[in-house]
Amino acid sequence: MHQVNASDLDAHANRVAAELAREVRAEMARQLISNRELSRRLEAVGYPKSEPTISRITRGTQGLTAVDLIMICGVLGVSPAEMVAQATKVAEENEQGGTDGQH
């Protein structure tokens, strides 16, 4: 069994969280959706998040909960699992010296 160092795991989790924020921003950009529009869409499905909250989430200065991710992906029409997989892949590539986080 592989021994996991708690600080390494914490650092990995933080890198994945940062990549998730980037993935959300990238998907919003692909769809030309502003923070205001995402906030409006979330409100429309009964999951109110203010525009400043969306801004903090997409900048990575506020944590993205599992429920936030599922709801945001739902209104964007993308798979939360695929978004997490992509964010994890990029974070792991960065950990191995692959890129600087831009993709």
pLDDT tens digit sequence for 81-98: 999 999 999 998 988 875
Which three-class secondary structure state does DSSP give residue 61? coil
Residue 36 belongs to a domain with what CATH number? 1.10.260.40
Structural domain boundaries enclosing 67:
6-92
pTM: 0.84
What single-letter amino acid sits at 40? R
Tokens (6 digits) for 26: 């990238």
Position 101 in a domain: no
Rounded to 10 degrees, the C-alpha dihedral 85/86/90/92 comes to: 10
The CA radius of gyration of the chain, in Å to the nearest whole number, is: 14
Residue 11 belongs to some domain of the structure: yes
Determine the residue type at 103.
H
Look at residue 64 and tell me if it is in a domain.
Answer: yes
Give per-residue pLDDT as tens, 2-61.
677 888 888 888 999 999 999 999 999 999 999 999 999 999 999 999 999 999 999 999
Domain count, the chain: 1
